């Protein structure tokens, strides 16, 4: 894993309080061409409540059949279905032990049931994952189309359960199907579980979301990655600008990164409140340590880099210019926060505020000529404009889910193609289905 740091400013004024922003870029290793693929464990937790009728369950079953076809005999697979209670349809174990034909039969035999006790399904899925989890960890994929109306329904509570599981190398990704699911709940579980959250408006697009998760699962080259940010004693505060699970520890902040796919690049942005320094010269403000487990060798690695600034006279510091690459990343993350704020406004029924927030986010790019924007920034500008138009055409419910899924992906896993919105109509506001 490669770790590099870029500061917005590398000089600070003597005897003056300041704020320094650091962009960390992390690049996962590509798999060795002669390396055997590590064995993987995947447990699917599938909503089979009554609302999954009308083709939704059938499309999900088709996606699971294709998933099983892609797994090796030595991979582990399990399936838990839930309505008003959880049912272990396929006990987690190696594909060869259960038998591929038997697994397929059990998947196709599922039918819709009653209400939606999502927590019972998820907790039972965790039990199955823990039972067979190996050193390579496990992935839970949770699919649901409804609001949980039984069991534990608090997003923070279930997100906390997912976070504890992630600390045990069990990642949780979620896929919301249709417009009726609780995006706050599913996004909280994915965030806590260091996984992806995808919005699949139509039943057939859920299959694409499952396929994307399996693509990622089968190409993992690092797992259990974390950043330990240890500021020097004088630094007053550290802020993580990305929406990542972060915990204050005795000597700083621990940021959970989860698993990395082959050659994936991610960016994490930190701000440090630097106090006035009384001596000229190089001054260290923090140490950043990246820890991860390499797949398939399961060797743990660490990389440590110092974060330092140069203390200079005030007249020299006055002429500094912030590094454009850091400023652009701060703008990108500010746009992701605007999406979250706009989603919350829509959930309150405040469409006017949501429109204003989206307009302001688009306006943040207005000062830059189009030719100076990167491909990612141009895509973001287009996405915001499409979403602004979609709000007027498709309404608050659809748009809030679109905002939620895109924020979840881009504020945490900007290097991934998985997650986000799995729906062709999303990119073309003139398309209706």
Listed in order, the ranges of the chain carrying CATH 3.40.50.410 are 41-218
Look at the chain and count its residues: 433
Give the pLDDT score at 100. Answer: 92
* Per-residue model confidence (pLDDT) at position 42: 93
User: Which pLDDT score, from 0 to 100, does residue 358 have?
Assistant: 93
The rounded radius of gyration (Å) of the Cα atoms in the chain is 23
Please identify every stretch of the chain with a pLDDT value under 70, giving residue numbers as ranges.
32-35, 148, 151, 367-371, 413-433
Answer CATH for 2-23+222-263+271-315 from 1.10.10.10, 2.160.10.10, 2.60.40.3670, 3.40.630.10: 2.60.40.3670
What's the CA gap between 296 and 44, in Å, rounded? 23
* Predicted pLDDT of residue 135: 82
Cβ–Cβ < 8 Å for 420, 413: no
Instruction: Give the helix/strand (H/E) hosting 221.
Output: strand 220-231
How far apart (Å, rounded) are the C-alpha atoms in residues 357 and 365? Answer: 13
Q: In what order do the strands lie in the sheet with 138-144?
A: 86-94, 76-82, 41-47, 138-144, 170-177, 194-200, 420-421
pLDDT of residue 418: 44
Half-sphere exposure of 432 (CA within 13 A, CB side): 3
DSSP 100-131: HHHHHHHHHT----S---HHHHHHHHHHHHHH
pLDDT of residue 104: 94
The two tokens of residue 383 are: 């996405």
Q: What is the pLDDT of residue 427?
A: 35
What is the CB-side half-sphere exposure of residue 405 using CA atoms within 13 A? 30
Q: What is the location of CATH 2.60.40.3670 in the chain?
A: 2-23+222-263+271-315
Specify whether domain 41-218 bears CATH 3.40.50.970: no
Please tell me the pTM assigned to this model: 0.81
């Amino acid at each position: 894993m490669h770790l590099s740091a870029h500061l917005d400013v590398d000089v600070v004024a003597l005897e003056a309080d300041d704020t320094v922003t650091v962009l960390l870029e992390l690049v996962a290793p590509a798999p060795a061409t002669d390396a055997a693929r590590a064995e993987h464990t995947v447990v699917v937790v599938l909503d089979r409540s009554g609302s999954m009728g009308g083709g939704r369950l059938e499309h999900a079953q088709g996606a699971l059949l294709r998933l099983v076809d892609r797994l090796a005999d030595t991979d582990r697979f399990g399936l838990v279905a839930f309505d008003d209670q959880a049912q272990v349809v396929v006990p987690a174990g190696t594909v060869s032990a259960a038998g591929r034909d038997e697994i397929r039969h059990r998947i196709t035999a599922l039918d819709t049931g009653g209400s939606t006790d999502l927590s019972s399904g998820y907790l039972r899925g965790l039990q199955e994952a823990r039972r067979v989890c190996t050193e390579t960890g496990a992935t839970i994929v949770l699919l649901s189309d409804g609001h949980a109306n039984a069991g534990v329904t608090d997003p923070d509570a279930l997100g906390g359960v997912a976070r504890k599981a992630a600390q045990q190398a069990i990642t949780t990704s979620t896929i919301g199907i249709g417009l009726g699911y609780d995006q706050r709940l599913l996004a909280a579980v994915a965030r806590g579980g260091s996984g992806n959250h995808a919005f699949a408006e139509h039943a057939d697009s859920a299959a694409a979301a499952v396929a994307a998760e399996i693509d990622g699962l089968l190409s993992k080259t690092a797992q259990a990655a974390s950043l330990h940010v240890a500021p020097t004693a004088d630094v007053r505060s550290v802020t993580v600008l990305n929406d990542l699970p972060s915990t204050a520890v005795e000597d700083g902040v621990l940021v959970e990164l989860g698993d990395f796919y082959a050659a994936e690049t991610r960016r994490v942005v930190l701000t440090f409140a630097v106090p006035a320094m009384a001596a000229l010269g190089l001054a260290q403000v923090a140490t950043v340590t990246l820890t991860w487990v390499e797949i398939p060798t399961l060797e743990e690695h660490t990389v440590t880099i110092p974060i330092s600034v140069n203390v200079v006279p005030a007249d020299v510091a006055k002429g500094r210019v912030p590094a454009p690459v850091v400023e652009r990343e701060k703008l990108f993350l500010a746009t992701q926060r605007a999406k979250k704020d706009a989603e919350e406004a829509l959930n309150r029924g405040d469409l006017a505020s949501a429109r204003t927030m989206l307009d302001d986010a688009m306006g943040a790019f207005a000062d830059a000529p189009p030719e100076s924007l990167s491909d990612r920034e141009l895509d973001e500008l287009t996405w915001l404009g499409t979403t602004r138009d979609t709000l007027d055409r498709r309404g608050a419910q659809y748009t809030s889910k679109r905002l939620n899924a895109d924020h979840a992906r881009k504020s945490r896993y900007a290097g991934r193609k998985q997650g986000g919105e799995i729906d062709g109509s999303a990119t073309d506001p003139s398309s209706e289905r």
